[in-house]
Amino acid sequence: MDTTHRQRSWPVLLHWMLPLRCLLCGGAGAHGMDLCADCSDELPRNRSCCARCALPLAIPAALCGECQRRSPPWDAAWAPFRYGWPLNRLESRFKFGADLAAGRVLSSLWQRESRPMALPRQILTVPLHRSRLRQRGYNQVLELARPLARELRLSLCVDAIQRVRRTEAQTELDAVARRRNVRGAFALREGVALAPHVAVIDDVMTTGATLAECARVLKRAGVQRVDVWALARAGNR
């Protein structure tokens, strides 16, 4: 076994050898995860939401007001969680703190949730710009997408969508600025083979600006149906 393989395997071996511990409260983990049953029960499930954009709704409805007024450029959305406590703590640790254990918990949670009735043929990921990937060291969306694709037995195309220019971080921008920030930021890799039905994955969907821009690129390329998936959906547009 070469040195690189041993370095990659060691954290995995430790994960299976050591007792499971909840990453949120420090209690005993449950259901094969570093998350206890009580903290798991507190996670904000997105069970009442818009069928088109997955926006959390106070009362059940087929579509939110915004989607009734103007349809988004994608066809359907799936976000099994609402972005809030304590899920946002795990997501922040994974995305900004390089906490891969938190990423494993988030991935496991996503795989265990109910899934869309109509599955795509292919999963695509929202890309990071090269400079941000070098800075962070990994693409958190890809780390979530790989095990989900295996669980659903779907093809994963990791470089179909490319970020052709660096954009500002969306976190501090309002909805209008977010749309302007990502306009023209994505393109398809030359020669990529796309299925007629695909899903684009992101970790968190807030206004949907990033996923909308990706969906437009795919629709212009002739993809018949584009779904957007996110682990969590924020409650504001």
Q: What residue segments make up the domains of the chain, in order of their start?
A: 1-42, 44-233
List the beta bridge partners of residue 45. Answer: 81
**CB within 8 A of 34, min separation 6: which ones?**
20, 21, 22, 23, 101, 104, 105
Judged against a pLDDT cut of 50, whether residue 119 lies above it is answered with: yes
Judged against a pLDDT cut of 80, whether residue 56 lies above it is answered with: yes
pLDDT computed for residue 4 by the predictor: 44
Judged against a pLDDT cut of 50, whether residue 183 lies above it is answered with: yes
Position with higher pLDDT, 75 vs 134: 75
pLDDT level of residue 117 (50, 70, 90 thresholds)? confident
Query: What does the pLDDT look like over 133-178, one tens digit per residue?
Result: 888 888 999 999 999 999 999 999 989 999 887 776 676 666 777 7
**Distance between CA atoms of residues 196 and 122, nearest Å:** 9
pLDDT computed for residue 14 by the predictor: 53
Structure tokens at 150: 């295996």
What is the rounded average pLDDT of the residues 50-71? 92
Mean pLDDT of the residues in the chain:
88
pLDDT computed for residue 13 by the predictor: 53
Structure tokens at 175: 């909805």
Return the CATH architecture of domain 44-233: 3-Layer(aba) Sandwich (3.40)
pLDDT level of residue 12 (50, 70, 90 thresholds)? low
Q: At what angle do helices 140-152 and 87-97 cross, to 10 degrees?
A: 120
Judged against a pLDDT cut of 80, whether residue 5 lies above it is answered with: no
